Amino acid sequence: MSIHKIVYKETGYFSKLICDYLDKKESLNQFYGNFPTLENFKKQLEAKSFSAKNRSVLASALRNQYKNLEAGEALESAIEQLEQENTFTVTTGHQLNLFTGPLYFLYKIISTITLSRKLKEAYPEYNFVPVYWMATEDHDFNEINYFRLHGKKIQWNREDIQDNDKGAVGGLKTKGLQEVFNLICAELGNTHLAKELCNLFESAYLKHDTLTEATRYLAHHIFSQYGLVIVDGDDHQLKSIFTPYMKQELLQNKARKAVTTQAEKLEKAGYSIQVNARDINLFYLADGIRERIIEKDSRYFVNNTSIEFSEEELLTKLEETPEAFSPNVIMRPLYQEVILPNLAYIGGGGEIAYWLELKSFFDAVEVTFPMLMVRNSALLITEKQQEKLKKLNVSIEDLFLNQNDLINRKIRKISNIDVDFSTQKEHLVKQFEDLYKLASETDASFLGAVKAQEVKQLKGLDNLEKRLLKAQKKKLGDHVRRLTSIQNELFPLENLQERIMNFSEFYLEYGSDLIPQLFEALDPLDYRFTVIIK
């Protein structure tokens, strides 16, 4: 295995905000606390406090969530450690995508586990537990009901779920997945590794009743030996801890005020806003319902339903049934930091972008803001693909070019005709410099005509260059086809591999070595894009 690193901004796939954050631009300092370096974790450890009572509730809730699953020694040890005052967590989160969804699901969790190990080495007097937060309360089924395999979209169709169904996906029954199972197994083939993947899908989705249970089983099966703790926030005990903050949100609207101000500052600094805060950033959660809570004239209404409360009724409901209240994208990060002894959150670019809007809100409610870490991103290249790249004389950096630019650059290199007219253009510009000098000394009104002629002739050279390049592309058509083919393999749908492809394709290639090799290659504290050639 060989590893190649690329600075994120040189890939062309990451936003200016994320690249500037990783470059530690001063203009962004006010939007986060400690930048995530190994040394800065000492400051974070000193800043983060977490009560013994909350530790006890957390451990109890986790044991209850795992009661129907064989936990294993590593997990049981991790939960026991969470009850100790010297134990802290690092956390990542992800939706309940079918069969993990895109490949970066693995990268998120591996980054989290590896960081926990590195922190233990650097601060041996503490314990560090990696946490995967399942987004069980999300309500967009169409975002999670598929994954891609060999370029095909494998989709879970549910006729009983309508486009306007807003229920939390975690509670969905796993019916209808037998058809998906049959489709997957037919697509994967009959190899030993293919059968392993089929058995894993069957055990996760056909032997568990809900999507939450299936996802917990799947993630636990892959990562149980590493002590990964999987948290479901849709939990009475955990939301009981969060109740004071939800009450404050219902009555004081602190999130909207703080987040709006910080978002405006980000916009003024030249960055796009990822999310906007509402007056109340909580949903009402029930069977088939996850709808916004709206206050009007001192009464509280559940959007798109007939449910309404007086203030007293709503607060009583909150105290008795806190699980009926669900944080939105603004409140969920706060919920996480209130119920976990957490030091850092590891997320993708879009996630880190909205976290950067939240610092002032955390300050307002007096909760320690976590360190924000951009998850590892990677490109996996097989030995066979690497051989193709060598034959085509394509570098790793070349691969990240826009496809048209890549083709043009390589055609210019391999063509036996010089398709670069730069020298001719420079010569033409110098000739017109003499004409400009002559015109200014004789008749200044002639300058406009000279300029027009220069533009016309340069444009003519551009057109000739394009026509010649087009002719050479046609002549070298086989090379162009092989070039586009390998780039399309590695960047499906003109996107990063990790955002499109499922882990199962790579398991077929690498087998049980896949996860260990990713652990070896990915370093959460190395903020560069990783290319893995194996």
Q: Which CA distances in Å does 523 have to 112, 128, 530?
A: 10, 17, 9
Given a cut of 60, whether residue 370 has pLDDT beyond it is yes
Given a cut of 80, whether residue 23 has pLDDT beyond it is yes
Instruction: Provide the pLDDT for residue 215.
Output: 98
Instruction: Provide the pLDDT for residue 179.
Output: 94
φ/ψ of residue 83, rounded to 5: -80, -10
Q: What is the tens place of the pLDDT at every residue in 486-527? A: 999 999 999 999 999 999 999 999 999 999 999 999 999 999
Q: What is the tens place of the pLDDT at every residue in 441-460? A: 777 677 888 788 878 887 87
Instruction: Provide the pLDDT for residue 313.
Output: 98
Given a cut of 60, whether residue 476 has pLDDT beyond it is no
Instruction: Provide the pLDDT for residue 273.
Output: 94
Q: Identity (one letter) of the amino acid at 422?
A: S
CA 217, distance to chain mean position in Å, is 22
Q: Is 366 left (phi over 0), alpha (psi -120 to 50) or beta?
A: left
Matching residue, tokens 């009926």: 324
Q: What is the tens place of the pLDDT at every residue in 110-163? A: 999 999 999 999 999 999 999 999 999 999 999 999 999 999 999 999 876 654
- The rounded mean pLDDT for the chain is 92
Determine what percent of the chain is predicted with pLDDT higher than 70. Answer: 94
Instruction: Provide the pLDDT for residue 463.
Output: 76
Given a cut of 60, whether residue 418 has pLDDT beyond it is no
Q: What is the tens place of the pLDDT at every residue in 295-350? A: 999 999 999 999 999 999 999 999 999 999 999 999 999 999 999 999 999 999 99
Given a cut of 70, whether residue 416 has pLDDT beyond it is no
Given a cut of 50, whether residue 46 has pLDDT beyond it is yes
Contact partners, residue 258, CB within 8 Å, separation at least 6: 277, 360, 361, 363, 364
List beta partners, residue 240.
none
- Indicate the DSSP class of residue 209: S
CB contact at 8 A, 361 and 332: no
Instruction: Provide the pLDDT for residue 181.
Output: 97
Is the pTM higher than 0.75? The answer reads yes
CB count in 10 Å sphere of residue 53: 9
- Indicate the DSSP class of residue 146: E
CB contact at 8 A, 518 and 107: yes
Instruction: Provide the pLDDT for residue 434.
Output: 77
Vertex 65 angle, CA 64 and 70, to 5° = 95
CA distance linking residue 111 with residue 316, whole number of Å: 41
Q: Which CA distances in Å does 8 have to 103, 291, 345, 397?
A: 18, 38, 19, 12
CB contact at 8 A, 364 and 254: yes
